[in-house]
Amino acid sequence: MFESLSAKFQDAFASLRSKGRLKPGDIDEIASEIRSALLDSDVALSVVDFFIDQLKSRTDEVLGDLNKSTNPANAVFEIVNSLLIEILGGSARRIRLAKKPPTVILLTGLQGAGKTSLVGKLANYLKAQGNTPLLVASDLQRPNAVTQLQVVGESIGVPVFAPEPGNGVGDPVKVAKAGVKFAEDKLHNIVIVDTAGRLGVDAQLMEQAKQIRDAVSPDEVLYVVDAMVGQDAVRTAQAFFEGVGFDAIVLTKLDGDARGGAALSITQVTGKPIMFAATGENVTDFDLFHPDRMASRILGLGDIQTLAEQAKGAFDSDTAAKLEDKFASGEDFTLDDFLAQLEAMKKMGSMTKLLGMIPGANSGAMKKQLEQFDEGELVKTQSIVQSMTPLERNDPKVLNGSRRLRIANGSGRQVSDVNSLVDRFTQAQKVMKQMRSGKGAMPPGMQMPPGMQMPPGMQMPPGMPQQGAAKVVNKKKSRSGNPAKRALES
């Protein structure tokens, strides 16, 4: 979503870095470029004005000190980063659990924002943390809304309280109240109430939402916003806040191709934080919203923390422990280990999206590689490895011509594909050995944040774009011309 904005920020700082010492005119120039970039991304004018005023004020205060530093442009970059984090909410905000269960969460928003789908994502997220959520179908207006919620609940294994068929039949206030009572009786510790949306802000919508809120006394009221709507999302959010009130915001469709102005405006305008963000259609494409990580992605620094968390979650503890032991003992990684990594990567979702979290992913060359990357590469690679015998996976050196032909035929691939996989895997083994001995290094910009670790042995699959991958060079030692010295060297 923020590709265009990110590219413009990077262009602005590239020109600033070329200047060396900075003058007030240089600050005005980059402020003007950033202002245009934000307005082009549909950020609310009031937020843009605040951002630019703060940028100029903070840089003017420290301009003398900036020029004493070795890299003044980077100091300005840090100011912009801190401002982005500030307008995005400052820090992640988690759900406040009730002291006496159940915790009641009420979802509101306009029709078409993806609210009912988001109910399932939120329930799945909470269930994965050991909670026992219950979904309450209080959207009795939209055709088949109750049925849709029941299908969503069934797909994630979460019960749905739906005493009314919907489609205009039933009292949503009574259903919401009865749902909370049902959760108390059945010992569900969280209740998520899905309410009806409307095509626009109107008095009837506000009144019904207020009645449900008063009936269930929710611990959290979450306003669901379609991140692709633009500045209109800010206007409706403000109307909802004044008419009903809410505690936090949930962004949907953050993976879309819109300009992203809503995400950069809504917190600053309403004063309420963004709590969650949905980044895809899958039920797992949902997580806490981290302002610092989003700012990092906008500025082209990637999001290594989220990538590491998703990778850690995809690896089961036994597999991770096994790979860690292998790394520590110096034992070679095998194609069986690689196959386990491929399975974990498939659990993590779209590889294009994941690789987009790598620093520099929006740069020209890397972006072009990502656009050309075939998501089916994982399946193709997996089929080749699965066509090998246990001996061949454990020791690729035994793969002679006839074995490679058999593997190619068995996987429906070409011999050249098998050769490419084996060559890349052998190269990856060498890089791992170098890293283990301390001679190798992570690609530039890929150092993990303090306290964070990628699962041991986590390597990108062959065929995937890699940024600055270490090159293994085996230098041949020159031999002495003196026979005695040559004998000693041998």
Of 60-64, 222-226, 353-357, the range with the lowest mean pLDDT is 353-357
Residue 74 or residue 456, greater confidence: 74
Q: Say yes or no to pLDDT of 474 above 60.
A: no
| For residue 413, pLDDT beyond 80 | yes
Is the pLDDT higher at 3 or at 168?
168
Domain 3-87 superfamily per CATH = SRP54, nucleotide-binding domain (1.20.120.140)
Residue 261 confidence class, pLDDT cut points 50, 70, 90: confident
What is the per-residue pLDDT across 102-130, written as a single tens digit (0 to 9) for each?
A: 999 999 887 777 888 899 999 999 999 99
Superfamily of domain 103-298: P-loop containing nucleotide triphosphate hydrolases (3.40.50.300)
- Per-residue model confidence as pLDDT tens digits over 422-434: 888 888 777 777 7
Three-state SS for 71? coil
**pLDDT grade for 395, boundaries at 50, 70 and 90:** confident
Q: Which of 54, 76, 50 is nearest to 63 (CA)?
A: 76
Cα gap 104→115, rounded to integer Å: 16
State how far the Cα of 5 lies from the Cα of 34, in Å rounded to an integer: 9
| CATH code assigned to 304-437 | 1.10.260.30
Pairing of strands 190-195, 220-226: unpaired
Is residue 250 within 8 Å of residue 121, measured between CB atoms? no
Q: What are phi and psi of 439, to 5 degrees?
A: -85, -25
As a whole number, mean pLDDT of residues 241-251 equals: 87
The pLDDT value recorded for residue 132 is: 95
For the chain, what percent of residues have pLDDT higher than 90? 22
The stretches of 134-228 forming alpha helices (DSSP H) are 145-156, 172-186, 203-216
pLDDT on residue 445 = 38
Residue 41 has pLDDT above 60, yes or no: yes
Please give the Cα distance from 315 to 458 (Å, whole number): 10
267-285 tens-digit pLDDT: 888 888 899 988 878 888 8
The full set of domain ranges for the chain reads 3-87, 103-298, 304-437
Rounded to an integer, the average pLDDT of 355-369 is 59
pLDDT of res. 23:
80
Mean of pLDDT values over 75-96: 87
Question: pLDDT at position 307, please?
Answer: 64
Phi/psi of residue 255, each to 5°? Answer: -90, 0
Average model confidence (pLDDT) for the chain? 78
| pLDDT over 60 at 265, yes or no | yes
- 63 burial type by CB count under 10 A (0-12 exposed, 13-18 middle, 19+ buried): middle
Q: Which of 22-26, 119-123, 340-344, 443-447 has the lowest mean pLDDT?
A: 443-447
Name the pLDDT band for 78 (thresholds 50, 70, 90).
confident
Give the span between the Cα atoms of 135 and 154, in whole angstroms.
11
Kindly report, residue by residue over 164-188, the tens digit of the pLDDT.
988 888 899 999 999 999 999 999 9
